[in-house]
Amino acid sequence: MIIVYVIRIINIHKCSCDFLKQNYYHRAISVLGVHVVVVVVVVVVVAVIVVVVLIVAAVVEVVVVVVVVVVVVAAAAAAATTPLTATTVTIIEGKI
């Protein structure tokens, strides 16, 4: 999904209309920036949860905690690879 926007930015760059270019760049960078920030926040929160779970595992020494760590890491990976939502796509295309 992000690749699509990079291609669109390149295509819009070929346009001779400066206002259109400036407006599109601003919206594209804003939306992609928000997506990156969300991914970073999710990764940091998951990292903190993993550290806490590992500390609990060291103290309690329960095998079940390892399963929890695997599930949390899998959830973080899924969140980090989630594409831009349809709402964000609509916003960046100026339909809202």
Residuewise pLDDT in 10s, the chain (96 residues): 455 555 555 555 555 565 555 566 666 666 666 666 677 777 788 888 888 877 777 776 666 666 777 777 777 777 666 555 555 555 555 554
Backbone torsions φ then ψ of 14, nearest 5 degrees: -75, -15
What pLDDT, on a 0 to 100 scale, did the predictor assign at position 32?
Answer: 62
Q: ∠74-32-81 over CA atoms, to 5°?
A: 15
* Number of residues that make up the chain: 96
What pLDDT, on a 0 to 100 scale, did the predictor assign at position 96?
Answer: 46
Task: Give the Cα separation of 93 and 74 in Å (integer).
Answer: 31
Q: 0.75 cut: is pTM over it?
A: no
Task: Give the Cα separation of 43 and 85 in Å (integer).
Answer: 18
